[in-house]
């Protein structure tokens, strides 16, 4: 059997808050293969974002094992985690997190500096990614000149630009109306059809129904997995 892209065993994250402990993840076991399209669902506070932050190496487990793309993340230093994140993971957030006084093109191209690419290569790649999300004609616009859906498409282009093995989206349509949300979800569908592993958190049933696998969290555990 080949190693899955993600393998969690007893994955735990405990937050200390005012002297008490919050078990945000309470011993999660899960395998996710390369190329899967997964919706993470569950009530607010159930551990969805904590799980995404572990998998994307934004934060480190308190216990258990987490292997992503061949790397045991629980044993890595902060520098190694940053290098892993930069190479292997693309993130999309609910609030887009774009640089305000910066063109769509530069929002996508700037993070590629960390890949050590030349300015020309960064620009070419950023243009290709913006074209992929249907924004060829908006490359010079700043975020304030774009609709919410367009801003989220810039954020998706930015997430894709470094050719990650994994695309993580935490409530990517949470700030969008339903029509715009459908358009943005069409892009995730296309990216997965091209072979990119997509894991997205959502509260919305119709968004979750797009994925081929549905994992439900409750109180820091997986309580339902359609696989
Ligand atoms: P979800 O994304 O499903 O809404 P989270 O993963 O954000 O849930 O949170 C899971 C639990 O961990 C919640 O009880 C939340 O309050 C707690 N939590 C999340 N982040 C922190 C933090 N930085 N410090 C303390 N508690 C946190
Ligand atoms: Mg969350």
Q: Dump pLDDT digits (tens) for 132-185.
A: 999 999 999 999 999 999 999 999 999 999 999 899 999 999 999 999 999 999
Task: State if residue 44 touches ligand 1 by the CB under 6 angstroms criterion.
Answer: yes
Provide the percentage of residues in the chain whose pLDDT is more than 70: 100
Task: State if residue 144 touches ligand 1 by the CB under 6 angstroms criterion.
Answer: no
3-state helix vs strand vs coil in the chain, percent to 5 = 40, 30, 35
Which residue's CA lies nearest to atom 18 of ligand 1? 24
Q: Which ligand 1 atom is the nearest neighbour of the CA of 17? A: 25
CA of 61 to the centre of ligand 1 (A): 13
Backbone φ/ψ region at 10: left (φ over 0), alpha (ψ -120 to 50), beta: left
Residue 4 pLDDT: 94
Task: Find all residues with CB under 8 Å of 111, minimum gap 6, and list them.
Answer: 86, 158, 161, 162
Which residue's CA lies nearest to atom 27 of ligand 1? 15
Residue 227 pLDDT: 85
Task: Find all residues with CB under 8 Å of 11, minimum gap 6, and list them.
Answer: 25, 27, 28, 29, 30, 51, 54, 61, 63, 64, 65, 66
> What is the residue-averaged pLDDT of the chain?
95
Q: Which ligand 1 atom is the nearest neighbour of the CA of 13? A: 12
Give the pLDDT confidence of 39-75 residue by residue, as tens digits. 999 999 999 999 999 999 999 999 999 999 988 999 8
- Closest-CA residue to 60 (of 39, 84, 49, 76): 76
CA of 62 to the centre of ligand 1 (A): 14
Summarize the confidence of residues 208-224 as an average pLDDT.
97
Residue 104 pLDDT: 98
Residue 48 pLDDT: 98
Where residue 2 falls among pLDDT bands split at 50, 70, 90? Answer: confident
- CA 211 – CA 37 distance, rounded (Å): 5
pTM, full prediction: 0.95
- CA 55 – CA 69 distance, rounded (Å): 10
Tell me the residue ranges of DSSP E strands in the chain.
6-17, 20-32, 37-41, 63-68, 71-72, 89-93, 166-170, 197-201, 213-218, 221-225
Where residue 1 falls among pLDDT bands split at 50, 70, 90? Answer: low
Contact 156, 184 (CB under 8 A): yes
- Closest-CA residue to 42 (of 193, 225, 166, 167): 225
Task: State if residue 49 touches ligand 1 by the CB under 6 angstroms criterion.
Answer: yes
Task: State if residue 46 touches ligand 1 by the CB under 6 angstroms criterion.
Answer: yes
Which residue's CA lies nearest to atom 11 of ligand 1? 24
Task: State if residue 16 touches ligand 1 by the CB under 6 angstroms criterion.
Answer: no
Neighbours of 81 (CB within 10 A): 17
């Amino acid at each position: 059997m080949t190693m899955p892209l993600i393998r969690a065993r007893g994955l735990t994250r405990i937050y200390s808050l005012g002297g008490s402990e919050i078990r945000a993840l309470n011993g999660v076991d899960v395998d996710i293969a390369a190329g899967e399209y997964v919706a993470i669902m569950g009530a607010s506070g159930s551990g969805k974002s904590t799980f995404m932050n572990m998998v994307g190496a934004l934060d480190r487990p308190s216990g258990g094992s987490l292997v992503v793309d061949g790397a045991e993340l629980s044993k890595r230093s902060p520098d190694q985690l940053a290098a892993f994140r930069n190479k292997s993971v693309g993130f999309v957030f609910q609030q887009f997190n774009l640089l305000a006084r910066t063109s769509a093109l530069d929002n996508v191209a700037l993070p590629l500096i960390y890949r050590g690419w030349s300015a020309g290569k960064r620009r070419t790649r950023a243009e290709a990614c913006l074209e992929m999300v249907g924004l060829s004609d908006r490359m010079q616009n700043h975020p304030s000149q774009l609709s919410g859906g367009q801003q989220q498409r810039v954020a998706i282009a930015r997430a894709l630009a470094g050719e990650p093995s994994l695309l993580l989206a935490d409530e990517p349509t949470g700030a969008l109306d339903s029509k715009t949300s459908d358009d943005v979800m069409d892009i995730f569908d296309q990216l997965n059809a091209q072979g990119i592993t997509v894991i997205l958190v959502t509260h919305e049933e119709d968004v979750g129904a797009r994925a081929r696998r549905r994992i439900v969290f409750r109180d820091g555990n997986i309580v339902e997995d359609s696989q």
